[in-house]
């Protein structure tokens, strides 16, 4: 049995090394989900791609995407509605989308400095900032390092730091190394699995499958797992209680990646945040619960802080 398993693994590895890249062939006509053009800005010598929507003189709202995705992948279902009342700014972070690929280790603090630089390049002194997943870590760090730049803080599907101990960070680091090794050999299996899962739960519509597949497949394995290592090292717990910006925490109660308990912990560490629970939501909430997120964000930005409200 083991002999046949080894042969199958070698055959698969040879096929992935020597064969063509697998393609997705959807059954129906395909289209782009949101044709929103953008432009690039420079932060130092690094170039970042930024999309904008809404009235340029409306209050600015920066939407920060999560790990491995670019801005449009995470936020496309929310942009149009939020743009009715806000100047919505959606940057692609370093190593994602159409922004520069910077092949060096970095920390979440560097992402925060990137965001501050992007705001400066766009002529924005202060904005409300919404971060999802890894983007929430960057938004937290922005509020910590550049407090004058953040008016209100929206943290969704995120935490104060995924790992709570040195042991958890050590295990997480080992998983990242192994996953990177597999991805270097072939990322197609992971891309197909993710695309199929999102289609199955209704997060990606059949007519957007090819677009979604290409976005996931285009990731660079080394840069993708560099981001994971930065997430693994991040810990805002020593200083998060000192943040003074009004905050909204949106919690996915069934999140399979940012577990609900660390999202609730985030809310408990902030100073008097407003908390909204997306009951039944998993980590793909911006795609499956976009309407709920829009209502929570608009309500928070339009009023003072309140109390925990399930949705």
Mean pLDDT, range 102-109, rounded to an integer: 96
The domain locations on the chain are 33-161+235-310
Instruction: Return left, alpha or beta for 95; rule: phi > 0 is left, psi -120 to 50 is alpha, else beta.
Output: left
- CA torsion, points 45, 48, 54, 60, in degrees to nearest 10? -60
% of the chain at pLDDT higher than 90 = 82
Residues forming beta bridges with residue 63, ordered by sequence position: 130
139-188 residue pLDDT tens: 999 999 999 999 999 999 999 999 888 899 989 999 999 999 888 888 89
pTM of the prediction?
A: 0.93
**Which CATH architecture describes the domain 33-161+235-310?**
3-Layer(aba) Sandwich (3.40)
Measured CA to CA, the distance from residue 216 to residue 69 in angstroms comes to 7
Place of tokens 């295990």: 171
pLDDT band for position 62 (cuts 50, 70, 90): very high
Angstrom CA distances, 199 to 203, 264, 288, stand at 6, 28, 11
Q: Any residues with CB less than 8 A from the CB of 187 and at least 6 apart, and which?
A: 217, 219, 221
Do 284 and 201 touch, CB atoms closer than 8 A? yes
Q: How confident is the model at residue 25 (pLDDT cuts 50, 70, 90)?
A: confident
Per-residue pLDDT, averaged over 97-120, amounts to 97
The tokens describing 235, both together, are 């810990």
Copy the structure tokens of residue 309: 């409200």
Mean pLDDT of the chain: 93
Instruction: Please tell me whether residue 225 adopts helix, strand or coil conformation.
Output: helix
Q: Which helix (H) or strand (E) holds 48?
A: strand 46-53
Judge contact between 47 and 75, C-beta under 8 A.
no
The string of pLDDT tens digits covering residues 248-306 is 999 999 999 999 999 999 999 999 999 999 999 999 999 999 999 999 999 999 954 34
**Tokens representing 116?**
């501050």
Asked if the model's pLDDT at residue 310 lies above 70, the reply is no
* Position 246 confidence tier, pLDDT thresholds 50, 70, 90: very high
Residue scoring higher pLDDT (15 or 95): 95
- Cα–Cα distance measured from residue 291 to residue 298, given in angstroms and rounded to the nearest whole number: 11
Mean pLDDT along residues 18-46: 92
């Amino acid at each position: 049995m083991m002999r046949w398993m080894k042969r199958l693994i070698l055959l698969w590895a040879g096929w992935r090394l020597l064969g063509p890249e697998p393609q997705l062939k959807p059954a129906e006509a395909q289209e782009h989900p949101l044709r929103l053009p953008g432009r690039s800005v420079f932060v130092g010598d690094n170039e970042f791609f930024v999309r904008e929507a809404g009235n340029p003189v409306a209050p600015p709202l920066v939407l920060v995407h999560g790990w491995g995705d670019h801005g449009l992948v995470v936020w496309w279902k929310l942009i149009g509605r939020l743009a009715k009342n806000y100047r919505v700014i959606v940057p692609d972070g370093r190593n994602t989308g159409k922004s520069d690929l910077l092949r060096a280790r970095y920390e979440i603090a560097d992402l925060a400095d990137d965001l501050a630089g992007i705001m400066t390049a766009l002529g924005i002194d202060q904005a409300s900032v919404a971060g999802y997943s890894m983007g929430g870590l960057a938004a937290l760090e922005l509020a910590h390092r550049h407090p004058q730049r953040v008016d209100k803080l929206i943290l969704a599907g995120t935490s104060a730091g995924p790992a709570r101990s040195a042991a958890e960070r050590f295990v997480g680091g080992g998983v990242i190394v192994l996953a990177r090794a597999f991805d270097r050999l072939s990322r197609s299996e992971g891309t197909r699995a993710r695309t199929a899962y999102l289609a199955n739960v209704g997060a990606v519509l059949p007519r957007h499958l090819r677009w979604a597949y290409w976005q996931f497949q285009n990731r660079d394995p080394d840069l993708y797992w560099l981001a994971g290592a930065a997430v693994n090292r991040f810990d805002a717990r020593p200083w998060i209680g000192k943040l003074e910006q009004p905050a909204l925490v949106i919690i996915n109660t069934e999140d399979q990646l940012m577990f609900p308990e660390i999202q609730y912990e985030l809310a408990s560490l902030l100073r008097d945040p407003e908390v909204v629970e997306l009951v039944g939501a998993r980590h793909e909430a911006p795609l499956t619960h976009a309407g709920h997120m829009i209502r929570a964000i608009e309500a928070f930005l339009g009023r003072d802080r309140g109390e925990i409200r399930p949705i």
